[in-house]
Structure 1
Amino acid sequence: MKHTLAATALVLLSGTALAQATPVGQWHTIDDKTNEIKSLIVISESGGVLTGRIDKLLRKGADQDAKCTECTDDRKDKPMLGLEIIRGAKKADGKDVWEDGKILDPENGKNYTLRLTPIEGGKKLEVRGSVFGIGRTQTWVRVQ
């Protein structure tokens, strides 16, 4: 009986750890220059495909009514709150990496090829946006 309880507890705990090794959840984006929290992004999954939306603008003095004036696609002039910035990312075979999607930088309206990699047991997320292999990586922090 003791072994069964211990094994069950171990499975439940390992399942929790594995569940956190995914981009699905709530994330704080961090400003590259000031290291301050910029926004809250919510990443969800449907049919194995990830999407991510801006849930809150958290930067000091942020205009909560701002629109994506720099966007050039279907998101042009849409409100920043609720704006879908991640589209189409899928889990790579045999890796804890999600790729083949796009990420929008709403500040300049550009779309970048996306790679998402959970790190530190899923507490942080490396978000890589690139064009022709040239880009930058941000680290987002999971909201508990």
Structure 2
Amino acid sequence: MRTTIKTLLLALPLMAAGFSASASDSAAGRWKTIDDETGRVKSIVEIAQASNGTLNGKVLQVLQSAQGPHPVCDKCDGANKGKPIEGMTILWNLRPDGTNKWANGTILDPAKGKTYSSKIALVENGRKLEVSGCIAFICRTQTWLRDQ
């Protein structure tokens, strides 16, 4: 009996480690976007998995904006023109593309009102997310931090 209890006690931390590792295998969750120039947190984006398995990202909160509090997408075209950036979907249709990678999606840069093809990759055990927006073969990559 004691051997069984000891075995269970030793197995619990290993099982917990397995659960936490699998949680970091998903890009779903809240992410802090970082301003390339200042290094400051710019916004909080929530990435969620859609029913078709793709990933989408929505701005939950804008923390830093040249427009001040509650900025709108004044440079956007179409349905997003003049809409609040908070609550706006800026990342959509990302499909799995290998381990901890998603690609073939689209990202919107609300500051410029432009969309780009997008890919993302989890790095550093899921603590960071490399987010790329590309035109043809020219890409710009930002590193987002997981929001605890």
State the TM-score, normalized to the length of structure 1: 0.90
Name the stretch that deviates more: 3-12 or 125-134: 3-12
Task: Give the aligned partner of residue 50 of structure 2.
Answer: 46
Match of 2:132 in 1: 128
| Identity %, equivalent residues | 36
The 2-side partners of 1:13 and 1:31 are apart by 33
Which ranges of 4 or more aligned residues in structure 1 deviate by more than 4 Å? none
Q: Which runs of 5+ in 2 are unaligned?
A: none
Change (3 A) 1:74 1:61: closer
Q: What secondary structure is seen at the aligned counterpart in 2 of 1:9?
A: helix
Render the CA deviation track for 1:60-113: whole Å, top value 9, x for unaligned.
776233211111132221111101101111111x42101111010000111111
In the aligned structure 2, how far is the partner of 1:83 from the partner of 1:60? 15
Match of 1:82 in 2: 87
Contact persistence 2:62–2:70 (CA under 8 A) = no
Q: Give the 3-state SS of the residue equivalent to 1:6 in structure 2.
A: helix
- For residues 101 and 6 of structure 1, what CA distance do their matches in structure 2 show? 43
- Give the whole-Å Cα distance in 2 for the aligned partners of 1:84 and 1:13: 33
Alpha-carbon distance, 1:30 to partner: 0.7
The alignment covers a number of residue pairs equal to 143
